[in-house]
Chains A and B, each alone.
Chain A
Amino acid sequence: DTGVSQNPRHKITKRGQNVTFRCDPISEHNRLYWYRQTLGQGPEFLTYFQNEAQLEKSRLLSDRFSAERPKGSFSTLEIQRTEQGDSAMYLCASSWTGTNSGNTIYFGEGSWLTVV
């Protein structure tokens, strides 16, 4: 078990470009979450999936943001027409809802986005 893996770890992009982040959850975890963290702040919830179904989206997830989990395994978070305000760390997390799961969410190390 290698934990939650996120790629790329760092991305610098020009304003207006599209970026995509990938998250590979812990094997067999059925839930996957995306959070955003700006400097000096705590993480903010963006969205979560149970298997391939996206069950909740925050109002922070504007129409420029789209997240998918097509086969219920890895997930992608795409940001279209990036703006400087999108600069942040994007955190992915996963959990298992089965018995004895302990309701524990495991976070990845995050993907840093800098929009210049």
Chain B
Amino acid sequence: AQSVTQPDIHITVSEGASLELRCNYSYGATPYLFWYVQSPGQGLQLLLKYFSGDTLVQGIKGFEAEFKRSQSSFNLRKPSVHWSDAAEYFCAVGAGNFGNEKLTFGTGTRLTIIP
């Protein structure tokens, strides 16, 4: 069965600083990987996804992620964070023919931005 580990429960960064959120996955085949963002009390918004091809994936809001098969990782990065980036971030791995029939999420990383 697939699993996702997000080792950092809470990260605090200064506005304008760079950001990296860690994600490690366990999956028997080629993984379908996703990053979602969730604002308090809201649903999930897809930031980016990896299915195949280029291992550096660009997403919305200036985010990118890099798939590293050797490390079973899919870390999320942003070169300069904005106060509006404060939210909960979830990494997920998908299973099924389309890679998204059943998503397994990590426990999330809460991002706090300080002025």
Contact = CB atoms under 8 A, between A and B. Distances in A.
Contacts of A93: 44
Interface string B12-37: 00000000000000000000100010
A109 B108 contact: no
Contacts of B101: 31, 48, 55-56
Contacts of A56: 101-102
Interface stretch (A61-69, A71-79, A97-105): A97-105
Given A48-B101, A48-B102, A109 B49 contact: no
A45 B104 contact: yes
A95 interface: yes
Interface string B58-100: 0000000000000000000000000000000010100000111
Question: Interface size bucket, A side?
Answer: 20 to 34
Question: Interface size bucket, B side?
Answer: 20 to 34
Contacts of A107: 36, 43-45
B107 interface: yes
Nearest to B6: A42
A44 B115 CA distance: 34
Given A91-B43, A107-B45, A45 B103 contact: yes
B43 A108 contact: yes
A42 B107 contact: yes
A97 B98 CA distance: 8
Interface string B104-115: 111110000000
A4 B43 CA distance: 10
Contact of B49 (A31, A44, A104): A104
A41 B104 contact: no
A42 B92 CA distance: 9
Contacts of B45: 107
Nearest to A41: B107
A109 B99 contact: no
A111 to B, nearest CB: 10
Interface of A: 4, 31, 35, 40-45, 48, 55-56, 91, 93, 95, 97, 103-110, 112
8 contacts: A42-B4, A42-B90, A42-B92, A43-B44, A43-B103, A91-B44, A93-B44, A106-B46
